[in-house]
């Protein structure tokens, strides 16, 4: 308590201490006076015997407790006063550190938001997804079938429970107009596994999920409850109408809490899993396609669970060889699945901003070394008064920490503004529960980063051999930059700065080339003149003997759309390129030798109308498209992609050949050009495409319109025309086809822009650093330049001298940076397309760009050196 009181009475105690020490000195002086010495000589001897007053004060403060806090407070006040006397240095250093620390804080807040514990479910580290896969040359996920799921659940012991689930689109009826929403088909155990309960009502009972007697019940989301029912607490027990399921009217049994959107993160409604597909499909062990949610038991790791399911897969393969041979199960952490598209990009950005911070620190360190050279008189006085080297070094570190702390505070402000913009502009979809914020983890990260920056910035100039020496500081001609070790340190910092900038520039260059390659891809169709329209056409069921028919004929709908001004062609299909709705099926080619069941070829099938190829601009390489009489539910003809034809009939004519899809033998009547149907990065040869004639059997349709002008201009007229045909048709989306393809490249484009911005920032900081170093060299060698010019050296010789001295650190920095870029390049490989991590053109281009900028930054101060007046320079010496 006495020590804490002293903290608050420091001024009074210091006054008392000074009076006490002065009293001792006066008494000692009086003793010498009594011996007959004159008063002046008596005081001089008393001071010699007593020692320095300031040293005595320091020693007294140390023994009265809390000296560390006292020193810290005193050093901080001194640092603030010192920075106030150098506002230019303080502003530049703080802004530089604010940019470096702020960008690191912003990106780390995103990394923190997708950490393992960010999944909003209790004990989420034990939640896993089970994927059925097939072991081919490359392991491919195929999902699970219901019989497989039931066997995994009954025979495994590594899990508390398992739940089947899958997301689909359905049409919500009953409002002003039909609405397409995302629904999840889930097992009753789905909600208990996620440790979530309803806001109102209940979830599903086990008896409501039986294939033999499916029950028309649903659980709705909080958003749908508020939007459609006005938050009515009596909603439980009411009915809701859905199109596309086995029933039309369902009974609401529960309402989920706010924020719960299921594992798809878009669901607004949940149905029992027994309604996921027709009963015969659900009983088919080979009909796979959905993931399984599971929760590990306490003490059971993923490796143990994986081994158990691997053994179980072997038993099922022996029992069901036709469907389960060469099959296994993959156990994947839930957080890794939810964040798999985010973490690689964020790791890349985190590395980039770390390099930016490194460059910023190097710049500030160089500034600090220059500033320390100008403070040598202050250093000399303090050393003469008894300050130790350690004490002065501590003051430098404190001053640097104060700079870093102010920079970190400004950086937090920058991060607070940048993070929401990054999330809003990012085409990389963040889950709805990911809310980046400046929480305690981010604050701790920023504190640690700022402390590391502050300590390193203080130690770098302070540990120079000549930085704090009394004799060197007192020499009138001494210059801090004159020592060889100091020059080496400064050159080393410059080399490090250049190398870090080169690594960033190469990374940005590789990403720019990658995005250009994606943009230059031949998609196989014309996206610039095509409008995509996704609709759901309800079915008539009353009074029909055969299968349900659509409420409006698809041909009538196409005819109406073809009459719109600016439309030259219209077609309908089951899906369109990049819409994510393609489905694959195994096929057999007639006349080909038999293959292992697990090695059967697979193709993505699409139901299309005859005008499909003309509407999308897909060339027909051979043969023809479908005739009207061939548009049936049970097709007999097929158009195949060029890749499939090359694979099975190289150099031959596939027209007239046959292949079997399921149980149907189909005759090939045409060969269409290859199309990148699913992903930009996946070539069409991975799994080829086959086109079947449109059979009017699909409820969810994709309509393509070929436009004479910008496709987006047709959106309003298209929507109105569909409403005129039948208001019960639900329109889920209207977009130009180019928008669908651009979205595929958006994550790479966004990463490229961010990396490009960081690279430009690094280039600017490095150029400023080089400019500052050369300017400092010019100031240090002013006298030498004056003597050289007085002795006859011309301006060109002086300019070459200064450029030569700066050229070798630039050259070494370029070499080190290019080497570092080649070492870091493989970390970017997953983000690149069509360009190798070691790309000679990018390396040469970056070297040329940076070399030009660096030499320009050196040339400006070198040119200024040639304007020095020799007489004035010699006089200053």
Q: Is the pLDDT of residue 615 over 90?
A: yes
Q: Which of 77-91, 191-205, 416-430 has the highest mean pLDDT?
A: 191-205
- Name which of 568, 577, 110, 575 is nearest 352 in CA terms: 110
Of 333, 342, 418, nearest to 101 (Cα)?
A: 418
Q: Tell which residue, 356, 513, 576, 481, has the closest CA to residue 778.
A: 481
Question: Which of 360-364, 742-746, 773-777 is the least confident region?
Answer: 773-777
Tell me what pLDDT residue 381 has.
Answer: 66
N-to-C CA span, the chain: 58
Which pLDDT score, from 0 to 100, does residue 486 have? 67
Which range scores top for mean pLDDT: 535-544, 692-701, 835-844? 835-844
Does the structure show a pLDDT above 60 at 546?
A: no
CA 92 vs. chain centroid, Å, equals 30
Q: Can you tell me whether residue 379 is helix, strand or coil?
A: helix
- pLDDT band (50, 70, 90) for residue 167: very high
Residue ranges per domain, the chain? 2-65, 124-338, 343-519+744-876, 538-728
> Taking Cα atoms as reference points, which of 464, 578, 455 lies closest to residue 525?
578
Dihedral class, residue 161 (left if φ above 0, else alpha if ψ from -120 to 50, else beta): beta
What local confidence, expressed as pLDDT, does residue 802 receive? Answer: 75
For 633-653, write each residue's pLDDT tens digit.
Answer: 888 999 999 999 998 998 889
Task: Convert 546-565 to b/e letters by CB count within 10 Å (16 or more is b).
Answer: eeeebebebeebbebbbeee
Per-residue pLDDT of 213-222, as tens digits, reads: 889 999 999 9
Q: pLDDT (tens digit, 9 = 90+) per residue, 791-801?
A: 667 777 777 77
Backbone angles phi, psi at 830, to 5 degrees: -70, -20
Please check the confidence at residue 463 and state whether its pLDDT lies above 90: no
pLDDT at 549: 66
Nearest to 768 by CA among 854, 859, 863, 852: 854
The pTM of the full predicted model, rounded to 2 decimals, is 0.76
Q: Which of 249, 252, 847, 298 is nearest to 541 (CA)?
A: 249
Question: For residue 68, what are its two tokens?
Answer: 């560390």
Q: Which two tokens stand for residue 739?
A: 């928008």
* pLDDT value of position 478: 44
pLDDT at 545 over 60: no
Alpha-carbon distance 215 to 6, whole Å? 77
The percentage of the chain sitting over the pLDDT mark of 70, rounded to a whole number, equals: 86
Give the residue-averaged pLDDT of 838-848. 88
SS3 539: strand
Q: How far apart are CA 403 and CA 755, in angstroms?
A: 27
The residues, any chain, with a CB within 8 Å of residue 370's CB and separated by 6 or more, are 481, 772, 776
Which is higher by pLDDT, 606 or 583? Answer: 606
Q: What is the pLDDT of residue 379?
A: 67
pLDDT of residue 479: 45
At residue 137 the predicted structure's pLDDT band, cuts being 50, 70 and 90, is very low
Q: What is the 3-state secondary structure (H, E, C) of 621-670?
A: EEECCCCHHHCCCCCCEEEEEHHHHHHHCCCCCCCCCEEEECCEEEEEEE
Provide the pLDDT confidence category of residue 315 given band limits of 50, 70 and 90: very high
d(CA 185, CA 398): 61
* SS percent in the chain: helix, strand, coil, step 5: 55, 15, 30
DSSP letter for each residue of 714-767: GHHHHHHHHHHH-TT-EEEEEEEHHHHHHHHHHHHHHHHHHHHHHHHHHHHHHH
Between residues 73 and 193, which one has the greater pLDDT? Answer: 193
3 state DSSP class of 285: coil
Pairing of β 602-608 and β 539-540 = unpaired
| Host H or E run for residue 586 | strand 583-589
The alpha helices in 520-641, defined as continuous H runs, are 554-562, 612-616
Cα–Cα distance for residue pair 726/540, rounded to 1 Å: 13
Q: Cα(118)–Cα(432) distance, rounded to whole angstroms?
A: 11
| Residues 654-709: tens digit of each pLDDT | 999 999 987 889 999 999 999 988 888 776 666 789 999 998 766 788 999 999 99
Please tell me the number of Cα atoms within 13 Å of 144 on its side-chain side: 27
pLDDT at 347: 83
Candidate from 34-38, 156-160, 370-374, 705-709 with smallest mean pLDDT:
370-374
638 bridge partner residues: 668
> For the residues 847-853, what does the mean pLDDT come to?
88
Q: Which two tokens stand for residue 697?
A: 């059997």
Q: Is the predicted pLDDT of residue 477 greater than 50, yes or no?
A: no
Residue 482, pLDDT > 60, answer no
Give me the pLDDT at residue 135, please: 64
Is 80 exposed, middle or buried (CB count within 10 Å of its CB: 0-12, 13-18, 19+)? middle
């Amino acid at each position: 308590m006495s020590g804490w009181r002293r903290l608050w009475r420091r001024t009074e105690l210091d006054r008392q201490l000074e009076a006490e020490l002065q009293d001792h000195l006066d008494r000692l002086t009086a003793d010498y006076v009594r011996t007959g010495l004159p008063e002046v000589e008596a005081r001089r001897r008393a001071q010699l015997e007593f020692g320095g007053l300031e040293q005595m004060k320091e020693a007294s403060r140390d023994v009265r407790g809390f000296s560390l806090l006292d020193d810290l407070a005193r050093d901080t006040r001194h640092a603030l006063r010192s920075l106030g006397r150098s506002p230019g240095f303080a502003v530049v250093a703080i802004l530089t550190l604010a940019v470096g620390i702020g960008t690191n804080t912003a990106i780390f807040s995103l990394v923190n938001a997708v950490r393992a514990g960010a999944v909003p479910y209790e004990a989420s580290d034990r939640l896993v997804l089970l994927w059925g896969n097939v072991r081919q040359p490359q392991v491919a996920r195929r999902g699970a079938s219901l019989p497989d799921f039931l066997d995994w659940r009954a025979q495994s012991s590594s899990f508390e429970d398992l739940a089947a689930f899958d997301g689909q689109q359905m049409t919500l009826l009953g409002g002003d107009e039909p609405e397409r929403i995302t629904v999840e088909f889930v097992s009753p155990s789905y909600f208990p596994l996620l440790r979530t309960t309803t806001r109102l009502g209940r979830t599903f009972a086990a008896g409501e999920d039986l294939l033999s007697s499916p029950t028309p019940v649903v659980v709705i989301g909080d958003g749908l409850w508020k939007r459609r029912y006005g938050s009515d607490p009596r909603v439980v027990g009411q009915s809701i109408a859905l199109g596309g399921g086995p029933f039309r009217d369902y009974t609401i049994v529960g309402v989920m809490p706010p924020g719960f959107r299921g594992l798809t993160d878009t669901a607004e409604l949940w149905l029992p899993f027994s309604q996921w597909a027709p009963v015969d499909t659900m009983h088919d062990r080979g009909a796979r396609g959905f993931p399984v949610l599971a929760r590990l038991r306490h003490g059971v790791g993923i490796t143990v669970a994986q081994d158990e399911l691997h053994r179980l897969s072997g038993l099922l393969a022996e029992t069901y060889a036709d469907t389960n041979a060469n099959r296994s199960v993959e156990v994947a952490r839930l957080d890794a699945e939810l964040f798999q598209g985010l973490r690689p990009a964020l790791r890349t950005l985190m590395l980039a901003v770390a390099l930016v911070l490194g460059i910023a620190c190097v710049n500030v360190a160089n500034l600090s070394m220059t500033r320390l050279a100008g403070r040598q008189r202050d250093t000399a006085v303090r050393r003469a008064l008894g300050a130790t080297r350690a004490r002065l070094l501590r003051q430098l570190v404190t001053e640097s920490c104060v700079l870093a702390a102010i920079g970190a505070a400004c950086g937090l402000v920058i991060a607070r503004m940048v993070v929401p913009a990054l999330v809003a502009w990012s085409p990389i979809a963040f889950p709805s529960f990911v809310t980046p914020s400046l929480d305690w983890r981010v604050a701790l990260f920023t504190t640690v980063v700022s402390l590391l920056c502050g300590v390193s910035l203080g130690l770098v100039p302070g540990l120079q051999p000549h930085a704090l020496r009394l004799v060197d500081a007192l020499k009138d001609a001494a210059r801090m930059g004159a020592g060889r070790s100091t020059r080496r340190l400064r050159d080393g910092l410059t080399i490090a700065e250049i190398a870090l900038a080169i690594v960033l520039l190469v990374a940005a260059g590789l990403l720019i080339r990658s995005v250009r390659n994606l943009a230059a891809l031949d998609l196989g169709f014309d996206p610039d003149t095509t409008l995509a329209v996704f609709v759901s056409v309800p079915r008539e069921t009353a009074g029909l003997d055969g299968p349900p028919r659509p409420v409006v004929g698809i041909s009538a709908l196409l005819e109406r759309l073809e009459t719109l001004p600016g439309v030259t062609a219209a077609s309908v299909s089951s899906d369109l390129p990049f819409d994510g709705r393609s489905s694959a099926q195994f096929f057999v080619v007639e006349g080909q030798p038999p293959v292992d069941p697990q090695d059967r070829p697979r193709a993505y099938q699409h139901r299309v109308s005859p005008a499909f190829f003309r509407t999308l601009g897909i060339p027909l390489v051979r043969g023809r498209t479908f005739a009207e009489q061939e548009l049936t539910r049970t097709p007999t003809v097929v158009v195949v992609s060029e890749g499939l034809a090359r694979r099975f009939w190289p150099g031959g004519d596939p027209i007239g050949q046959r292949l079997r899809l399921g149980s149907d033998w189909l005759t090939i009547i045409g060969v269409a050009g290859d199309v990148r149907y699913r992903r930009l990065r996946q070539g069409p040869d991975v799994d080829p495409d086959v086109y079947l004639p449109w059979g009017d059997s699909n409820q969810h349709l994709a309509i393509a319109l070929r436009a004479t002008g910008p496709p987006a201009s047709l959106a309003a007229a298209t929507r109105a025309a569909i409403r005129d045909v039948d208001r019960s048709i639900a329109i889920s989306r209207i977009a130009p086809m180019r928008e669908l393809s651009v979205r595929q490249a958006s994550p790479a484009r966004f990463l490229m822009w961010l990396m490009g911005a960081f690279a430009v920032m690094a280039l600017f900081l490095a150029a400023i650093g080089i400019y500052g170093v050369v300017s400092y060299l010019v100031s240090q060698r002013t006298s030498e330049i004056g003597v050289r010019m007085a002795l006859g050296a011309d301006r060109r010789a002086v300019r070459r001298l200064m450029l030569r001295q700066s050229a070798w650190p630039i050259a070494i920095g370029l070499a080190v940076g290019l080497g570092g870029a080649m070492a870091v390049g493989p970390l970017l490989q997953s983000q690149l397309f069509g360009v190798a991590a070691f790309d000679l053109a990018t390396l040469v281009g970056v070297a040329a760009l940076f070399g030009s900028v660096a030499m320009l930054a050196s040339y400006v101060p070198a040119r200024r050196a040639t304007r020095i007046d020799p007489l004035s320079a010699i006089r200053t010496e």
